[in-house]
Structure 1
Amino acid sequence: MARLDLSWFDSPEDEAQLRRLDELVEGLSFLRPTQPDFKELLSVFERFPCHDGFGVFWAIVHCIENSQGYEPALLESVRRTPCDFNLTMINRMLNGGITNVGHESLIELLHTVAASENASEAAREAAKHFIAYQSAKL
């Protein structure tokens, strides 16, 4: 069972909700988030794919990335609802030298998003951008 329930967060424009979210994420940084916690955090990106929470969403990115074992939940999130934040996290993993999670290639996941008719145009473009960026590094 998840320790974290962010279902109450329904407006990335609401200052009180953003402050509460930021405080919860900061507190979670001192604990060991579980798989359900990762899914709950990533769900914020999925529900608000075109928002950054006035910077608060970056706190979620940093909290997740400073934890261990988040990768499967991240890949599930990208497959469910690719968006700028979860795709950026995939790109950052690639920048860090991580090319696979289990048997799944991260660059292939980006290619899948780039070609998906179910992904938003913004997500497809972000995936294409990250593919080009990673290809230029080779």
Structure 2
Amino acid sequence: MRPIDEIISEIESYESDDGNWLRLDELVTELWESGNPENGIDAMFKIFENNPTDDGAGVFWSILHGLETLEYEQKLYDSLMEKPSHMTIAMLKRIENTESETIAGKSISELKDLIKNNPKTKTELLDEI
């Protein structure tokens, strides 16, 4: 097994090969098999931020489901404030659908307003909020 730092580094720098996300899927699987996937939370959110309107041909949904098994809410909040993406907005909506009114101790409705007014939010994402 490779050192987890190598795996995380590859995830952080990953760019799809003309829409081919299979290598990323392999890296995420390798991260989980390391036994310490929480070490890669930032890298996984970085993938979402670097590809704000993409779903990685379904690979990002696997990442989302994995993140939901970890302590991720503060990192989700940070990512939404830094550079909202299709996947982080989907995660926020999933939390909201549980009838939760907060994320990381902050109001979801206020966060949604901040996202809508964030100049880093891609126009095509506004309808998703």
Which segments of structure 1 move beyond 4 Å, counting only runs of 4 or more?
none
2:46 maps to 43
Q: How far apart, CA to CA, are the structure 2 residues paired with 1:118 and 1:51?
A: 16
Q: CA RMSD in A?
A: 2.1
Question: Residue 65 of structure 2 is aligned with which of 32, 42, 62?
Answer: 62
2:55 maps to 52
1:81 maps to 83
Is the CA contact (8 Å cut-off) linking 1:25 and 1:63 kept in structure 2? no
Report the Cα offset of residue 50 of structure 1.
Answer: 2.0
Gaps of 5+ in 2: none
Query: Structure 1 residues 94 and 32, CA, compared in 2 at 3 Å: closer, same or farther?
Result: farther
State the AA in 2 paired with 1:98: S
Q: How many residues align?
A: 122
Is the CA contact (8 Å cut-off) linking 1:99 and 1:107 kept in structure 2? yes
Q: Deviations over 1:6-58 (max 9, x none)?
A: 2331225353xx22211222233453433x51111011111111222111111
Query: Structure 1 residues 14 and 101, CA, compared in 2 at 3 Å: closer, same or farther?
Result: closer
TM-score in terms of structure 2 length: 0.80
Identity %: 26
Gaps of 5+ in 1: 128-138
TM-score in terms of structure 1 length: 0.76
1:107 maps to 109
Q: How far apart, CA to CA, are the structure 2 residues paired with 1:13 and 1:27?
A: 22
